[in-house]
Amino acid sequence: MWTRIRSFLGHGRPADAAWAFPLVAAAPAILIVAFRGDRGLAATLALLAVWFLMAWALSWVIVARMASDAAQVAAQERAIDLHEQLADRAFLAGRPAFDCSEQELADLAETELRALPRWIQTAVERDNVAISIEDERAGQPRTLGLYQSSGYGRDQIREITLFRLAIVRAAGSRDRVREVVHDTLLHELGHLFGMSERDLDEYTIGNHPRPGAQPVHPPRDDQTTGR
């Protein structure tokens, strides 16, 4: 137990506690002088001395707790970064078993967009959402798509970018490319309608779907325009 206490207090330093000490000590010290001053100078000074020692210890605990929390957050961030790096390496390992050109992917995206329900198509047309194709997002090889919005009012620009190499790798086979494009489009269109990543995780198209997430309808078997 004492080892844990020493380890905890070790996160803080006396110099760090100096800034917190006045904040902790000031108000009670004023109250001591105001309400206990009639007991005599010696008694008041003794009480102030005891309080200042307690306030210093409390200040040290406060800064130690803040430093400990900051260290935990930093460790968690390092663990997340390491996990992301390992996941990127695993995703990039090996060559894809097939290729899909930008034009093929653009045609497939257009087909999937036309197959969505009419109300979605109307929103896409109304907001003038552009669909673009790029090979991959710099530094994020597992990102399948990206929704971006800039400007305001009539000058607002909305764009969905599909990343070709990530989609090909995620699909694994040509038979699944359409499914990946379908789900990626729905995910990015969710952002168009104001959904956050947490909102999208309630569905299977989320980046990190919660257990029991609601399934999303698969691509239509026919290529007709959605209703």
Asked if the model's pLDDT at residue 124 lies above 80, the reply is yes
Q: What is the mean pLDDT of residues 93-103?
A: 87
Distance CA(109)–CA(60), nearest Å, equals 59
**Domain boundaries defined on the chain:** 2-92, 102-200
Helices (DSSP H) in the chain: which residue ranges? 2-9, 14-36, 41-92, 102-114, 118-126, 164-171, 177-192, 197-200
Assess contact for 161 and 132: CB atoms under 8 A.
yes
- Mean per-residue pLDDT of the chain: 85
Alpha carbon distance 122, 113 (integer Å): 11
pTM score, whole prediction: 0.69
**What is the bridge-based pairing of β-strands 130-134 and 145-150?**
unpaired
The owner of tokens 């000031």 is: 26
Give the contacts of 154 (CB within 8 A, at least 6 positions apart).
none
Q: What is the pLDDT of residues 1-49, one digit of tens each?
A: 445 545 544 555 666 677 777 888 888 888 877 776 666 777 888 888 8
Query: What's the pLDDT score for residue 179?
Result: 94
Asked if the model's pLDDT at residue 154 lies above 80, the reply is: no
Mean pLDDT of 48-66: 83
For 167, the token pair is 């989609």
Class of domain 102-200: alpha beta
